[in-house]
Structure 1
Amino acid sequence: MTHPWHRTLAPLALVAALTVALSACGGGTTDRGEGSGKPGGTFSVALTEPDHLIPGQTTSSYALQVIQGLFDSPVTLDPEDGHVVPLAAESVNSPDQQHWTVKFRAGAVFHNGEKVTAQSFADAWNAAAFGPNAWETNYYFAQIEGYDQMNPAEGRQPASDKLSGLKVLDETTLQVDLNAPFSQFPMMLSFPAFAPLPSAAFTDAKAFDLRPVGNGPFEMDGDWQHNQKISLKRAASYNGTRTPKADAVDFKIFTSKDTAFTELQAGNVDIVTTVPAARAAEAKRSFGKRYSVRPSGTMDYLGLPLGEKRFADPKLRRALSMAIDREGITQAVYNGVFTPADSLVAKMVPGHRPGACGETCTYNPAKAKALFDEAGGLSGPLELYFSNSDPTYEQWMTSVAQQFKQNLGIKDVVFRKMANADLGPLLNERKSTGPYRQNWVIDYPSMQNYLDGLFNSDNRMGWSSARFDALVAQGNAAPETDLGPYQSAEDIALQELPLIPLWNWQDQSAWSPRVGSVVIDPYVTGLHLDKVTVTS
């Protein structure tokens, strides 16, 4: 993600273990040196319409692709092996994995000239952690002391609007006290929600969302033109470690990834970071060395609205899972590029266990029907929710609907297809009345990222388990090599199944001969905008 600094940010054992665990995975990909190009020029990237551009307000991969160009978070992850690398921070240290000291680089400024200080980070984290703000990344701050006072039980007022665990020691030093030891904390700091915010973010949030002011290598070039484009240009004030090779990047917004790929073929866009799996063979023929397939931490699931009584019985949820032919769908819709899920976490993640999901994720129509009937079945229409951003979503939802009809006897299935920008808020507010496509794009290579991210207290399913929470907390406090508690927590989630694992992606990307030095990692950064060169 940045220049290859190898300074230790986490305890040395954590970084070493992480590097060893991921070195065989081949995390990032490049264009193999083709067309190195010269500094300067403008390139374009296909994008789906984001929901927000304020870092703490979104977890959408579409938004984060833009945000990572606008903002430097404290650290980043090396694209090849996932180890922690400094970015806005110089160091992240702790004597006990509970009390951390984050030292930031001196001399950094926001794009408007305002100085970036430790207070800039504290202000941003407090805004995201404050419950009434309802920012989507709120749960990322639950480990920090004082979070509970900012997020009381429903019906109660917050006792504070600031995290008591954040202490600004001086202009470049922030002390972070956690509720308990948490070995994954340095990796978590790579997530854009931990980026700083200038004072302008708090004076007019709506205006700031249209034209955010960051501390990263690129700055906004005009306002975000909704459903059309987002233009960035090299930030003249940037003095960090990710100096851009290109002068500018235009994000061209498409409602369909299929359309985006067609535009790439026509020469109207330079980089497509997600080639539709159905067009894999075509992409390989058309782009050759400018087409890449790599292991991914991205997973698709079928989320279930447990607030609806019809889905309250785990037997019924297991029946739905066993009625889905994952192998058949991944072959028919994704040409075998995606692989059937056998776990809640991706295969590339340390701690993944082959077959963890067992028979629950194995196609068995007869047993599915027996469980379905035993649970009392479903009355009324079954609504399935998904976005319109990729034609394959409707294709696999159609297959799932047919299998539910054939294998379970469900007669009435209704599709609720909508723009991703509309679907996200609906799911976050738990307003779906039926199963929905749930996707998780890995932030950092840890089981904790999936378990906390998918099943935190604000999870879309409305599921809670004290045993699960206790095991995740135990895993957080355990030595970084002890993944047993996380695996036990996964077992509980697989038994109760509020979320049905479907398949594990492999990421496919392609780019035009106009660009070179294309680096794409499987973590939150995705495409490294700063490294791209323009060759013509």
Structure 2
Amino acid sequence: MRLPALLVAAVVALSALAGCSSDEPARPGVVTVGLQEPGTLLPADVDDQAGRFVTGALWTPLADYDPATGKLTPRAAAAITSTDRVTWTVTLRPGLKFHDGTPVTAQSYVDTWQAIAGENWEATPVLTKSLRAKQITAPDATTIRLVLDRPSSQVPAWLSAPGLVPMPASVLASHDWNGFARHPVGDGPFRLADDWAPGTGGTLVRVTPAEGKATEVDLRVGDPVEQYDAVRDGSLDLVTSVAGERHEAMHTDFADRHTTWPLPEAGYLVFPMADPRFADAAVRHAFALAVDRSALEAGPLAHQVDPAHALLPPADAPGERTGTCRPCSFDAAAAKSLLGQSAFTGPTTVYFDPGAGQWTRPLATGVATALGVAVTAAQRPNGRVTGPSTVDLNLASASPADLLSALASASGYSDAGFEQDLTAAESAATTAEAGQLYRVAENQLLRDLPVAPLWTGHGHAVWSPRLHDVTAAAFSGIDLAKLSV
């Protein structure tokens, strides 16, 4: 009599599976979204794609800034203006509110920025090293006034940084940052219904209903491969990342329902300028030409990046680069010849930070093969290193000034002409002029090559036929507020 019992169990199991299948009707206005676990939901400390995606739905930035055109699109701010590029005025839109019902005022921003400046968060350098305002005040509820220590054209880019969004007075008084990250209270188009559940996700509810738009978003943390298959099979509406093993299939499975966009992430090979073995620019160019970026992209980086074609990544670049980036090319013969003309002798080590070993080790092996010298890879020790290092940077703002300065600092590069170019770009009268001068500074770094560009990050998304108007931006990813259902 065991067979009928097994049959009954099988029928029950199949029935349960059917309840989770693609035949289950979608709830009107509800969108299901797959994502990876965010590192944090404290907006000023976010440095990953999933975190930017969720906080981008919970907050509205002061403005959106496009580094390619210099165009500023006001969001929470009605205007960001200056007559001398030293004193800047931010005028907020009236009636802004946090999800707890308290008003968003100019003082909310002033107090939040003071808190950020005092912490070691991802957005802290935007205030302390980039903006460097001598004074930030709130003359009235809708006006923020900033006085800088020098003229700067980059203020709109810095103030548009997603990490500089305001926090309510309750958390600014309690300093319970961990508690706030579990249930963040923003001022954006969606609010978080309950505490974020690590490993599971959370539910976003639209604050102001809009016809044809999602009223609720069910965020589900999970494996990207399984989530991709769930979208393909109809049991999930959208997945915000595509694993490398599904990258090629994406173009046929979702021919007109996939997109990619640049992320504010980039990888570099940083040379120790103080090391006599790398003092010769020919040595640095030889190492740059010995890196097969396409092999890294298709191999250990699993199609999550693009091979670099410039020093400045697309998410941070002031327009298209004119001319080619020779150090971005792979040319093993030229690399070996160039190194042979120098006094360089091996062996050497390429160092990496935790988490970057999976692509730095193949990089070192490829460079060794191309150059014909012994090159190994090792995790970066404490203290000074005696060889090149790989770094992957997450950009906190769309200003090229931040990245160019960071790259020079990372390598110990110092040049009066380069510093003059950065100063001239920052104080330029127009965004077009500033963009040209930042490209001049970029070209100098590519000539002297204290760092070699390797790759730039990009995001992927695929979605079901019931979704429309799927758009994405570098710093926020898929824009849930614009989704049509």
TM normalised by structure 2 equals: 0.78
Q: Which residue of 2 aligns with 1:92?
A: 80
Instruction: Specify the alignment match of 1:41 in structure 2.
Output: 30
1:477 pairs, out of 427, 434, 448, with 427
Shift of 1:118: 0.3
Say whether 1:210 aligns with 2:174: no
| 1:489-516, Cα deviation, whole Å (9 max, x unpaired) | 1123223434321245665421123433
Alignment partner for residue 54 of structure 1, among 36, 42, 51?
42
- Which residue of 434, 438, 443 corresponds with 1:486? 438
Can you list the C-alpha shifts for 1:66-117, whole angstroms capped at 9, x where unaligned?
1111111111258998842222112222222332211112222212222211
Cα RMSD of the aligned pairs, angstroms, is 4.1
CA distance in 2 between counterparts of 1:277 and 1:293 reads 13
Amino acid at match of 1:141: L
Deviation at 1:386, TM superposition (A): 6.5
**Structure 1 CA distance for aligned equivalents of residues 195 and 385 of structure 2:** 31
Q: In 1, Cα distance between the equivalents of 2:204 and 2:193?
A: 6
Residue of 167, 171, 174 corresponding to 2:141: 171
**Residue 478 of structure 2 corresponds to residue 512 of structure 1:** no
Do the aligned residues in 2 keep the contact of 1:70 with 1:219 (CA within 8 Å)? yes
* Number of residue equivalences: 453
Query: 1: distance between equivalents of 2:235 and 2:322?
Result: 42
What's 1:326 paired with?
Answer: 293
Query: Tell me, what secondary structure is at the counterpart of 2:335?
Result: helix
How far apart are 1:207 and its partner, in Å? 1.3
Question: Considering only CA atoms, is the larger Rg found in Structure 1 or Structure 2?
Answer: 2
Could you list the runs of 5+ residues in structure 2 that have no partner in the other structure? 1-25
Given the alignment, which residue of 221, 226, 243 partners 2:193?
Answer: 221
Residue number in structure 1 paired with 2:215: 247
In 2: Cα distance, 1:431 partner to 1:269 partner: 47
Counterparts of 1:222 and 1:194, CA distance in 2? 24
Check 1:300–1:310 CA distance in 2 against 1; reply closer, same or farther (3 A cut): farther
User: Does residue 63 of structure 1 match 2:51?
Assistant: yes
Q: Give the counterpart letter for 1:58 in structure 2.
A: V
Residue 22 of structure 2 is aligned to residue 72 of structure 1: no
Q: Which residue in 2 is equivalent to 1:368? A: 335
Matched with 1:28 is: none
Stretch deviating more after TM superposition (492-501 or 310-319): 310-319
CA distance in structure 2 between the partners assigned to 1:429 and 1:528 by the alignment: 42
Inter-partner Cα distance in structure 1 for 2:219 and 2:331: 44
Conservation of the 8 A alpha-carbon contact between 2:70 and 2:318? no
In 2, Cα distance between equivalents of 1:516 and 1:252? 20
Give the CA deviation at 1:343: 1.5
Instruction: Give the letter aligned to residue 470 of structure 1.
Output: Q
Moved more, 328-337 or 213-222: 328-337
Determine the structure 1 residue equivalent to 2:7. none
Task: Say whether 1:139 aligns with 2:125.
Answer: yes
Q: 1:481 to 1:196 in 2, by over 3 A?
A: same
Among 321, 346, 354, the residue aligned to 1:353: 321
CA contact (8 A) 2:367 2:375 kept: no
Q: Is the 8 A contact 1:143 1:179 kept in 2?
A: no
The C-alpha deviation readout for 1:389-430, integer Å capped at 9, x for no partner, is xxxx94x556423312312345564476xxxxxxxxx99999
1:265 is matched with 232
| 1:288 and 2:255 are equivalent in the alignment | yes
Distance 1:469 1:334, change over 3 A: same
Post-superposition Cα deviations, 1:119-169, rounded to whole Å, max 9, x if no partner, equal 100112222233xx2122122225777x3xxxxxxxxxxxxxxx5321211
CA apart distance, 1:470? 3.1
- Is 1:530 matched with 2:477? no
The 1-side partners of 2:73 and 2:386 are apart by: 40
Equivalent-residue separation in structure 1 for 2:319 and 2:68 (angstroms): 19
SS, match of residue 231 in structure 1:
strand
Q: 2:101 aligns with which of 113, 126, 132?
A: 113
